[in-house]
Amino acid sequence: MNISYSLRAESSVLAGGGWRLNGSHRNRGVVLCSSTAKPPVAQINKEKVNRIGALSQVSGVLGCQWGDEGKGKLVDILANHFDIVARCQGGANAGHTIYNAEGKKFALHLVPSGILNEDTMCVVGNGVVVHLPGIFKEIDGLEANGVSCKGRILISDRAHLLFDFHQVVDGLREVELAKSFIGTTKRGIGPCYSSKVIRNGIRVGDLRHMDTFPQKLDLLFADAAARFEGFKYTPDMLKEEVERYKRYAERLEPYITDTVHFINKSILQNKKILVEGGQATMLDIDFGTYPFVTSSSPSAGGICTGLGVAPRVLGDIVGVVKAYTTRVGSGPFPTEISGKGGDLLRFAGQEFGTTTGRPRRCGWLDIVALKYCCQINGFSSLNLTKLDVLSDLSEIELGVAYNYVDGTPIESFPGDLRVLEQSKVQYEKMPGWQTDISSVRNYSDLPKAARNYVERIEELVGVPIHYIGIGPGRDALIYK
């Protein structure tokens, strides 16, 4: 099934909005007017401490769209106020970009984004699928850049191992699907979760029993060879992989932990835990745009199953949403802007995948999808990111409702892709501000049109926006 969801023609606002594209605006490729106003540092710090200090003992940061919302930055900022940062699901398909105090960029995929805060313990929970070559490469890169990882990363003994052959199978599966391909990152995430669910997967704890490891790996290889003609399996492959994982097992041993016990013990010790979600709710295996979804549960329920904590211990969950919408890969995207308008937004926001480098599809903020995500996750607040990317627009649109072709309203985000295909988006136009806001640090100093945009989103979804991103750096955040 190859479905096209180009519901919106090229935007005249974006096409004629005066985007100025060059390389002098940091990580944006856009030059805007610069402000010389100096924010009152003491006031900003007080607002920051009050806002973050009010978060619950066990809090979470989850995506509200199709991923790539900027969760890593908020986790990095909040981590300084938490004892533990934990990943609960997904794998190396989750790319989180963060910057240290000197502005150096780090692209993380498996290591939790709290790693830059030296007093924070990082946990990779049982719900994550772990590619050992990948995580060791990340650790080596962090260490080479002066970030100490020793004794600071714990990996669940219940987490499943993702092997290189899972990545091969991922690619073969996409070829097999032909025109109905999912558009995965080809990092082997789906095949690894498939192994887990059909109960022939191999877990991190199995590396402690190398006497039985070869038989388990042989079963995985044989299963893949039986399923895919393009997967060639030989005894030499098994032998080489076993030898490689013997070396990995020795290196991994200090990291292996019963993280379920560790997390729950930490809760009893009144330690603060921040959960970092990968991907986002619209990619959830149950609640997303199935089958164009990920293979795990990046919504609130995934926190409990992916870390082994009871629902009653969960407190604040912050939803992260871009000021517009992006999506990578195939699948429905009702508010997508086609043509030059989408291209301009893509380059202004540097919308290229952290994991794959693929260009992201771009469109207006989808309020229907956002409200749906808020209902599922029970967000206590939102982090609106990349508001600065919209700064050069004379007019902005919000996708506030879906209607059937006959004009009948659709009450919520539908699970039926055919309904989505036949629906039309109702837009609400708002004036832009056409002023650089990247140096603004107080909410009241934002242009009135920018504040109206933020407050209209709050009004439509019924959840307060407490954090506003206006640039990639750690300090480029407004506390509202």
For residue 303, is it within any domain? no
Residue 68: active-site member: yes
Q: Are residues 218 and 325 in the same domain?
A: no
- pLDDT at site 28: 34
Distance (Å, whole) CA 319 – CA 378: 9
For residue 207, is it within any domain? yes
For residue 422, is it within any domain? yes
Residue ranges for the binding site for substrate? Answer: 354-360
Determine the Cα angle at 280 with ends 275 and 281, to 5°. 105
- pLDDT at site 473: 86
- pLDDT at site 8: 38
With 0-12 / 13-18 / 19 or more C-beta atoms within 10 angstroms meaning exposed / middle / buried, residue 352 is middle
Number of domains in the chain: 2
Choice among 48, 160, 196, 371 that is catalytic: 196
Q: Quick one: how many helices (H) and strands (E) in the chain?
A: 14, 20
- pLDDT at site 39: 54
Three-state DSSP class for residue 240: helix
Residue 81: active-site member: no
The CATH number that applies at residue 18 is 3.90.170.10
For residue 63, is it within any domain? no
| Helix, strand, coil percent values for the chain (each to nearest 5) | 40, 20, 45
Residue 284: active-site member: no
Domain ranges, residue 207? 160-252
Q: Are residues 344 and 465 in the same domain?
A: yes
Looking at the chain, how many residues does it have?
A: 480
Residue ranges for the binding site for IMP? Answer: 68-71, 93-96, 185, 199, 279, 294, 358
Instruction: Name the residue among 467, 465, 303, 278 with its Cα closest to residue 376.
Output: 303
Amino acid at 362: C
- pLDDT at site 179: 66
Full pLDDT tens readout for the chain, 480 residues: 333 333 333 444 443 333 333 333 333 333 333 344 455 666 666 677 788 988 999 999 999 999 999 999 999 999 999 999 999 999 987 777 888 878 888 889 999 999 999 999 999 999 999 999 999 999 999 999 999 999 999 999 999 999 999 998 887 887 777 666 776 777 889 899 999 999 999 999 999 999 999 999 999 999 988 888 878 889 999 999 999 999 999 999 999 999 999 999 999 999 999 999 999 999 999 999 999 999 999 999 999 999 999 999 999 999 999 999 999 888 999 999 988 888 889 988 999 876 677 899 999 999 999 999 999 999 999 999 999 999 989 999 999 999 998 899 999 999 999 999 889 999 999 999 999 999 999 999 999 999 999 999 999 999 999 999 999 888 999 999
Choice among 68, 157, 206, 392 that is catalytic: 68
Please report, for residues 8, 58, 463, the alpha-carbon distance to residue 411 in angstroms, rounded to integers and kept in the order given. 20, 33, 18
Choice among 48, 96, 131, 160 that is catalytic: 96
Distance (Å, whole) CA 40 – CA 434: 24
Q: Tokens 């209209």 map to which residue?
A: 456
Task: Return the structure tokens found at 435.
Answer: 């002023």
- pLDDT at site 143: 95
Q: Are residues 247 and 383 in the same domain?
A: no
Cis ω on the peptide bond leading into residue 291 (within 30° of 0)?
A: yes
Residue ranges for the binding site for Mg(2+)? Answer: 68, 95
Please report, for residues 43, 74, 227, 274, 339, the alpha-carbon distance to residue 114 in angstroms, rounded to integers and kept in the order given. 25, 10, 39, 9, 38
Chain centroid to Cα 169, Å, comes to: 24
Please report, for residues 40, 51, 119, 476, the alpha-carbon distance to residue 45 in angstroms, rounded to integers and kept in the order given. 9, 10, 20, 13
Contact 123, 265 (CB under 8 A): no
pTM beyond 0.85: the answer is yes
The CATH number that applies at residue 203 is 1.10.300.10
For residue 330, is it within any domain? yes
